[in-house]
Amino acid sequence: MNVLLTGGAGFIGTHTAVRLLAAGHDVVVLDSLVNGSAEAVRRVERISGRPVPFYCGDSADAILVDKVIADHGVDAVVHCAGLKAVGESTGQPLRYYRNNLDALLTLCEVMEARGVRRLVYSSSATVYGDPAQVPITEDMALSCTNPYGATKLFGERILGDLAAAAPEWHIIALRYFNPVGAHSSGLIGEDPQGVPNNLFPYITQVAAGRRDRLRVYGDDYATPDGTGVRDYLHVDDLARGHVAAIEHLGAAPGYRAYNLGSGHGVSVLEAVRAFERASGAEVPFEVVERRPGDIAACYADPSAARRDLGWTAVKTIDDACADSWRWQTANPVGYGD
């Protein structure tokens, strides 16, 4: 299958590209490089031993998207592109709504015009808002506590309405929980621009001495140790989930949504201790005020993905810590481009 991977130069996109290529698919990458790196795409080629055509541009650029789809005979799209920081979105809501929704709408319009109606959409567990209970199943009520989550929730509604109006569409939304880790080679990993918004890259940079200490946002949540509990999913398992989704798109028309998570909750302090074990380095931290939009606990029931897609997570939090540390030590300043 010829797959257009938007956001394919980013953390999740590069690992997904590696897995798609290993499964025998051809991949073309479109990425604006706001959160990605051209060097990362070159490293995907090194890992896979296969060429990966790369276009630097925005998924909201209809002319460019149309050219890529036409020139490469695209059969299906994996849409990973988008701004993705919860905290940042609360301070820049217009930027998040404009970027994330414009890109999705434009992409779908071009796909429709070209007769390409197979799409895997990068969604998020943030569509569950502050869940009434955990683990979270796909049939639970949807809501949002921040603009980033709202863009994912609106995106899912757009796609659901599209599939209802045009049954020839085959769409799967993947509700990611918390992707962590890196490729086992140490060649690709998470390389945030500026101050990391996510826990794991911040931990790795503190352990490596790039930052003095980790900020733990709140220790007064209703959790066992007071810190936020999340479902940390190894990025390689997440990448395999995209392959499973692409290969099951034809199983049923319409719109479907699946959780991709490990099914286990890990607190911030548990994650810190796991990283210290894996790296042998100390991770000093300080507790600060909660961030707007954060919730106490969020972890998945991934049984639907296991049943319908044949997918399950196989890597542990310790695997993720070891791979993150390998990436950090091999690439102390990230991709450096």
Segment 148-183, tens digit of pLDDT: 999 999 999 999 999 999 999 999 999 999 999 999
With respect to residue 212, please indicate whether it lies within any of the assigned structural domains. no
Split into its structural domains, the chain has a count of 1
Domain range enclosing 69:
2-181+231-262
With respect to residue 172, please indicate whether it lies within any of the assigned structural domains. yes
With respect to residue 320, please indicate whether it lies within any of the assigned structural domains. no
Q: What is the pLDDT of residue 135?
A: 97
Q: What is the pLDDT of residue 209?
A: 92
148 among known catalytic residues: yes
Whether the pLDDT of residue 293 is over 80: the answer is no
For residue 275 the two structure tokens come to 């990283």
Given 148, 176, 217, 255, the catalytic residue: 148
- Mean pLDDT for the stretch of residues 214-229: 96
Q: What is the pLDDT of residues 75-99, one digit of tens each?
A: 999 999 999 988 899 999 999 999 9
Q: What is the pLDDT of residue 118?
A: 98
Q: What is the pLDDT of residue 215?
A: 95
With respect to residue 273, please indicate whether it lies within any of the assigned structural domains. no
Instruction: Please say whether the beta carbons of 205 and 213 come within 8 A.
Output: no
With respect to residue 156, please indicate whether it lies within any of the assigned structural domains. yes
Q: What is the pLDDT of residue 337?
A: 53
Phi-psi region of 215 (alpha: psi -120 to 50; beta: other; left: phi over 0): beta
Q: What is the pLDDT of residue 198?
A: 86
With respect to residue 281, please indicate whether it lies within any of the assigned structural domains. no
Q: What is the pLDDT of residue 295?
A: 87
Does 135 sit behind a cis peptide bond, omega within 30 degrees of 0 on the bond before it? Answer: yes
Share the mean pLDDT of the chain.
Answer: 96
With respect to residue 297, please indicate whether it lies within any of the assigned structural domains. no
Whether the pLDDT of residue 107 is over 60: the answer is yes
Whether the pLDDT of residue 123 is over 90: the answer is yes
